[in-house]
Amino acid sequence: MSDWGADWTKAAFAPNANPSFADLLKNTEPTAMPHAQTPPGPAPQLPQATTILALTFADGVVMAGDRRATEGYQIADRYIVKVFSADFYSAVAIAGAAGPAIDMVRLFQTELEHYEKVEGEVLSLEGKANKLAQMIKQNFPMAMQGLVVVPLFAGFDVRRAAGRIFRYDAVGGRYEDSSYHATGSGGKDARSALRTSWFKGMPKDRAINAAVEALTVASEEDVATGGPDLARGIFPIVATVTAQGYEEISDDSLRPVVAQVIEKIVHTGEGTPT
Amino acid sequence: MSPMPYYVSPEQLMKDRADYARKGIARGKSILAIECAAGIIFVAENPSSTLHKVSELYDRVAFCAVGKYNEFENLRIAGVRLADMRGYVYGREDVTAKAIANAYAQALGTIFTQEMKPYEVELLVANLGEDHSTDELYHVLYDGSVSDEQGFVAMGGQAEALANTLAQQYEATMNFDDALKAGAQALAAADPSRPLGTQNLEVAVLDRARPRRAFRRLDDADVARVLGG
């Protein structure tokens, strides 16, 4: 590692106009890339991040994820965070191999900030979604070994003044959802729940409620999804992205929502997909 | 037979280069960086609202420069690259103004002695501290010499006049509005022959009240609100 030595300085002062941080990193410090080396053979068993979801509402999007990571039949982490702000107007959530996915998020965040600083302008939401697709594509060799990273990207499109959701497949294919999407091990169950609760232009409190309910339903059906834990105070991460930017909902605000959702599921059987 | 090359003494060569760089910088418009209670405020005379003299390098580090735009723009991008590289490979708090200023000093020193012409730029790397006593201002000259300044720094054609005017009003405990007013007044007083409206001022701040990315630009309306009040 050369740090501020010749390599970094040479790359920094090179007279090219590429505003991509990932390209800069690849050329100067390739070992720091999230998918630097892919030795042959099957990948070791690693923590897997599970259920994440996003849905649009009147003012933007809600993004949420449970707090569990699993390693085979073991619980690897009870407090993992899978929802991150990508920049002021967008959020990214991760499912799949947790370590490489979190690395990819960190590179993606730096990429967006780097572009913004170098160019003096923020990328369009479309541009950000495409950039993330390229990063997933570069992860393809690792995906082939089982280290699949499938993020969900959502944000507030300033030009359209609306929330938009993008999902990806393991090879970087990009698909836009105008309503909602959920992925990860409990994604199917979460989608079933959202199918009945989502409606166009729903208000913020209903959207947050729907997100918590969908994750809770998924945790009832899928062992790899962690449900809210009132005793330990473990709540899902729920964030909104609107014209006011990215905002995480505090645990204190989520507590009554969670209590209400659990009450509904336990006592009435409503909200379960069966 | 080819003619004999002229001999120029190293002293003369360096002096000529320094004079050349200084003349280029003196032609440019001026800028002030002022430490105060609210943060570090940058006030520049700049008729363009898109070609900036002040920019964000990292969470609590900003860059400002005077002189030839294409030259300091290259340096600015280099600073962003170095900062982001270090922040990604190590951690966000490991990005320091001192390290970036040193990289600039090395680069400018090399250019000054080895290139055909020196860069006609003078720049400042500012690091926002917990309060004004821990703020850092690194002033880097065209030949790569660095100085660590305190309180405020004036750069550009009228640097000396600006520094003298501002020194009479400056206090480290100034609030944001007072510091901005003092800066704008000093810029206006440096050359009373031309009017200096808000549209000719570029103002930005490393704001102590902001959580992570402390850098913020003020638009004309924000500036007018402070200066008019």
Domain boundaries, chain B: 10-228
**Taking CA atoms, what residue in B is nearest to A115?**
B80
Q: Quick one: pLDDT at residue B128? A: 97
> Containing domain of residue A54, as a range?
16-268
Q: Is A4 part of any domain?
A: no
Q: Of the given ranges (A68-72, A140-144, B164-168), which has the lowest mean pLDDT?
A: A140-144
Residues A183-214: tens digit of each pLDDT: 999 999 999 999 999 999 999 999 999 999 99
Residues A246-256: tens digit of each pLDDT: 999 999 999 99
CA distance A108 to A21: 9
Q: Is A274 part of any domain?
A: no
Residue A118 with chain B: CB contacts under 8 Å: 77, 80-81
CATH of residue A99's domain is 3.60.20.10
Mean pLDDT of chain A: 91
Q: Quick one: pLDDT at residue A199? A: 97
pLDDT band at A1 (very low <50, low <70, confident <90, very high): very low
Ramachandran region, residue A7 (left: φ > 0; alpha: ψ -120 to 50; beta: rest): alpha
DSSP states of B93-146 as a string?
GG--HHHHHHHHHHHHHHHHHHSSS---EEEEEEE--SSGGG-EEEEE-TTS-E
Interface of B with A in 83-102 (CB under 8 A): 84-89, 99, 102
Multiple choice CATH, B10-228, 1.20.140.10, 3.40.1180.10, 3.10.620.30, 3.60.20.10: 3.60.20.10
Q: Is A3 part of any domain?
A: no
Residues B51-84: tens digit of each pLDDT: 999 999 999 999 999 999 999 999 999 999 999 9
3-state DSSP assignment of residue A133: helix
Residues B117-172: tens digit of each pLDDT: 999 999 999 999 998 899 999 999 999 999 999 999 999 988 999 999 999 999 99
State whether A25 and B85 contact (CB < 8 Å). Answer: yes
Q: What is the ipTM of this complex?
A: 0.92
Q: Quick one: pLDDT at residue A2? A: 41
Q: Is A11 part of any domain?
A: no
Q: Is A257 part of any domain?
A: yes
> A32: which DSSP letter?
G
Residue A32 with chain B: CB contacts under 8 Å: 88-89
| Mean pLDDT for the stretch of residues A131-150 | 87
> Is the confidence at residue A46, as pLDDT, over 90?
no
pTM: 0.92
Instruction: Work out how many domains chain A is built from and give that number.
Output: 1
Q: Of the given ranges (A12-16, A72-76, B41-45, B145-149), which has the lowest mean pLDDT?
A: A12-16
Q: Residue A93 is inside which H or E element, if any? A: strand A90-93
Q: Which residues of A are catalytic?
A: 50
